[in-house]
Amino acid sequence: MTQITRNLRHGLHLALLSGLALIAFAAPAHADTGDTAWILTSTALVLFMTLPGLALFYGGLVHAKNLLSVLMHCLTLACLMSLIWIVVGYSIAFGDGNGAADGAGAYWGGLSNAFLNNVTTDSMSGTIPESVFIMFQMTFAIITPALIVGAYVERVNFAAMLLFSALWLVLVYAPVTHWVWGGGWLADRGVADFAGGLVVHATAGISSLVFVMILGKRTGFPSDIRPPHNPAFVMLGACMLWVGWFGFNAGSALGAGTGAGQAMLVTHISAATASFVWMAIEWVQYKRPTLVGTATGTIAGLATITPAAGSVGPIAAIIIGTLAAILCYGAVVLIRSKLKIDDSLDVFAVHGVGGILGTLLIPFLAGFGAMAPGLGDTTVGAQFQVQLTGVLAVCAWSAIASAAILLTIQLVLPLRVSKDEEEVGLDTSTHGESAYNA
């Protein structure tokens, strides 16, 4: 073979490789069908948490005369938050901040994707279609303000509730989501929040506390507040939340891989541990293990493992579940019995305390024991500083913004119903319906 022939063959070979590379580079990305199928399933599971899981859980805890009002809150919030998420929420949370003032992109995503502008049917988010990612994150935006429902039940003005929730999604939830998950300033610092200890539970918990302190106590609290009207609903709702939480946590891996399996395993272990420990505490203290208490322990265990589900193993999940039951139980007693704050269904004590606790435990338990993914090379001290910064910033912003929203609403709408309407019950006085007709 002559040198000229060799050169020609070599040139043709390079041209062929270059052409194939250009074709591969130009080809549109294709969704991974396995990942897409799992996130579609997870999306349905997370929506199932609100409708009907949270609705039944909260509905069973209130008086019979207020059951329908709780269901109405959960249903209408699912509708309203969905619309706001499409209009501006997704853009603020996951936009790149284009068009914002210098440095503002670290704090909010801007409005370049308002009404899903710049999103197409071919847009991708990692290995899944962006449309699926938008819908998955929408279900988080639905359940987070719905969690706050448990704080103000049985006395809130329905119109004020809707207005607060709409403003809260735009001014609290979406910006914090950008800080942590959307490439914002806390993400740059390396804060670990796998599925929403800060984004979901801390924001909802702190905002609930602020809401009820401005709203005021239910008439007769605490001496004349009767037990939950339907513990069976509470248990059924808690179980739906437990199942749905697999989509919440394992779905946050955004793929059908080892990360999803790991998150599902530790989520279940933490929930089971916290349920049993809460039951044991009641059994020792009151000599009777209750269904409502055990179900509450389930939610505490689920909320506390949420931020850590991507970094801890089964042994750490047992520790987290145990601490969740002990500390959240103590917070319920402190808030309700000692401080006499009427957070009606213990949103702050369970979700707020649980989410914050799980977030702060990550540096100490990540990588502990078998099957623990860990957090890489960061030191415990350095990571704890980052986690604490995240907790303080998110809690402070949630409190300040929520107070500002509520005080502004008070200028145009009453936050609560009249005493007579509260006495009759919101089912009848607000909605003209009754859950249990004679």
pLDDT digits (tens, 9 = 90+) for 28-70: 468 999 999 999 999 999 999 999 999 999 999 999 999 999 9
Dist CA 381 CA 404 (whole Å): 35
Dist CA 66 CA 71 (whole Å): 9
Q: How much is the pLDDT for 321?
A: 98
Q: How much is the pLDDT for 107?
A: 94
Q: How much is the pLDDT for 96?
A: 86
Dist CA 168 CA 11 (whole Å): 62
8 A C-beta contact, residue 416 and residue 216:
yes
157 by DSSP, 3-state: which? coil
Query: Number of H helices and number of E strands within the chain?
Result: 19, 2
Dist CA 266 CA 283 (whole Å): 26
Q: How much is the pLDDT for 376?
A: 87
φ, ψ at 416 (rounded to 5°): -130, 160
What are the domain boundaries of the chain? 63-431
**DSSP state, 28?**
P
pLDDT digits (tens, 9 = 90+) for 228-280: 999 999 999 999 999 999 999 999 999 999 999 999 999 999 999 999 999 99
8 A C-beta contact, residue 324 and residue 306:
no
Q: How much is the pLDDT for 29?
A: 66
Reference 391, options 355, 415, 416, 418; nearest CA is 355
Q: How much is the pLDDT for 9?
A: 53
Which parts of the chain have pLDDT scores under 70? 1-29, 98-103, 438
Burial of 129 (0-12, 13-18, 19+ CB in 10 A): buried
Dist CA 208 CA 301 (whole Å): 19
Q: How much is the pLDDT for 223?
A: 84
β pairing state of 128-129 and 124-125: antiparallel
Question: How far is CA 307 from each of CA 56, 232, 303, rounded to the nearest angstrom?
Answer: 25, 29, 8
**DSSP state, 335?**
I
Dist CA 72 CA 61 (whole Å): 15
Q: How much is the pLDDT for 438?
A: 57
Residues 6+ apart with CB under 8 A from 88: 111, 114, 170, 174
In degrees, rounded to 5, the angle at the alpha carbon of residue 26 between the alpha carbons of residues 21 and 31 is 110
- Which CATH architecture is the domain 63-431 placed in? Orthogonal Bundle (1.10)
The type of residue at 200 is: V
